Structure 1
Amino acid sequence: MGYRVAIVGATGEVGRAFLKVLEERNFPVDELYLFASERSEGIELTFKGERIKVQALNKVSSFSGIDIALFSAGSSISKEYAPKFASDGAVVIDNSSAWRLDPEVPLVVPEVNPEDVKEHKGIIANPNCSTIQMLVALKPIYDAVGISHIVVSTYQSVSGAGAKAIRELEEQVKAWCEGKEMPEAKNLPKRIAFNVIPQIDVFTENGYTKEEMKMLNETRKMLHDPEIRVSATCVRVPVFYGHSEAISVKLKGELSPEEAREILKKAKGVVVVDDPEERAYPIAIEVAGRDEVFVGRITRDLAFEPGLSMWVVADNIRKGAATNAVQIAELLHQYALV
């Protein structure tokens, strides 16, 4: 049995990744519908050798007959159109921040809280990319001995800010290589080439950015643990694909780095690359295009007792967005929820 699947935001970075991941994972698609803004209307994209035309979302009045809708078109579009798709019978899996903290909407990472999909009422939220990879790495440790505090610093690639940010980095580097004046920042707060920017999203009243607060709030929701403490510093770096994170955790019970390493080697969706003497640790350029979360530099933390530190890297467009959403669709199929 196959499904009638829609992709909303089909021409964006994540939208195009949806196509690749659906094909690579051989998700049972009978019919595929592609939606985007009017300026993308008529563009043809390829799925399993078939050319499919993109439709203008705002020109479609009914979405009945669609089983699953994968959204990556921004919060405002999700707020307007996700309920329309859901009321017409589709299950929406939304990659924006629009529904993540809605108490009526499950927020799901299949390796972390798969059973939560069973609570859906037509919309399921895909978490923030940085939260996804952090929790895939930490959930096995959390289950083993418990975690009370998380301190994380992220090093996030420009693709997390979309195709325009990718082009901005390309243009700045090209100008520098040609000895020309680098163009001013348009899509990021500061010039990104040969720089790091300690701001992702806007600042909130407490001085943290919305991106940093997402990591706290989404972690609490998915772990069903309102007491866990998370302090995040989110930084944009001049990398095209792949987010990296330096994580320290305070544990509720004793666990050695060796024991943690063995637990993570057995964890679903995790690849341990941890042999510093051989310079073996995850790096962004080597995990780009992969669906797993890579963990290395697992050590006893020097601030928290008991505690652990680790280095976690994943492809933000794939596991941080498209792959996680398709994995949620696979759960819907597995549990016969659609």
Structure 2
Amino acid sequence: MEHTQTQAPPQAILFQLLGGQIISRAIGLAADLAIADHLAEGAQEITALAAATNTNADALYRVLRLLAGFGIFAELPGRRFGNSPLSEPLRTDAPGSVRHFARWFSDPMRWGALGKLDYSVHTGRPALLDGREDKTVFEVFGEYPASVETFNQAMTSISMGSGHAVVQAYDFRPYRLIVDVGGGHGFLATLIAQAAPDAHVTVFDWPQVAEGAAVAIKQAGLNGRVTTQGGNYLESIPGPADLIVMKNIVHGEPDDGALQLLRNCRAALNDDGRVLVIESVITEGPEGNGARVMDIEMLFGPGGRQRTVDEHRTLLEAAGLRFERLIPTSETHIIEAVVG
């Protein structure tokens, strides 16, 4: 006998999607409480977990029960919980950990900005500027140091997850002078230096970020082949460079800012230099949904946008660069452009 799959009515599907807000917040809370870390050695009863996390046992049980229903943690008899394949990446020490990214998605400042999505849709401006039109996004963001720290930890964890995919997909060995624009704490730069033993890599970021990166880079022990420099990439980029790398940077800028950034790259490049724009590209079909979600993050967050290949090509050409190719990786996309 044939069994036909019954599709849920549209209302039921919408209700499930609307509940995603609660699920996202619950994941972030579990990450904040380091639940997966507490369960690293094995399952625990809810009262022990509550005592370890200074939470109410019944309330914590209800949150973990919700997440277990979606496969995040495993609910066991006796009100006990253990890790599951979906909760393991929430461990701080897990390969490709997403714990800090989950914490950022649930950060109070970001959560409040998301609640002002209507402001961004009405004005086309970042939600943080609601009532603060005399400020820049970075100035307002800087007023939340705890959120800045969470954001930096999240970006570092993303680099740890996708950085390996980038160096596996692209050959950095032909280049001698490489600049990692917006390189954060220098994780990708150190991976590039390890993959290209003859290269010198400069991490270029805001001065306060570059200072923090210097400590992490020193610990990598690359004999001075990775250095830091502070500055504003919308003003200039250090050169001359054979290759400029920008991972999850261009998407943070609106078109005019992205164009200025790319023009600064062109000015810093040698005549045969290249640029790598590393970020998710909007593609057709369901596989592009992740980039579409990130596009809304850019809308209410920094005021930037995710782009299609054609949109990237248009910006590159306006900046004096020529689109060369799109390189898919297991985690993101690499857009390669050359001077021209």
Per the normalisation by structure 1, the TM-score is 0.25
CA radius of gyration, larger in: 2
Structure of higher RCO (CA pairs closer than 8 Å, 6+ residues apart): 1
Per the normalisation by structure 2, the TM-score is 0.25
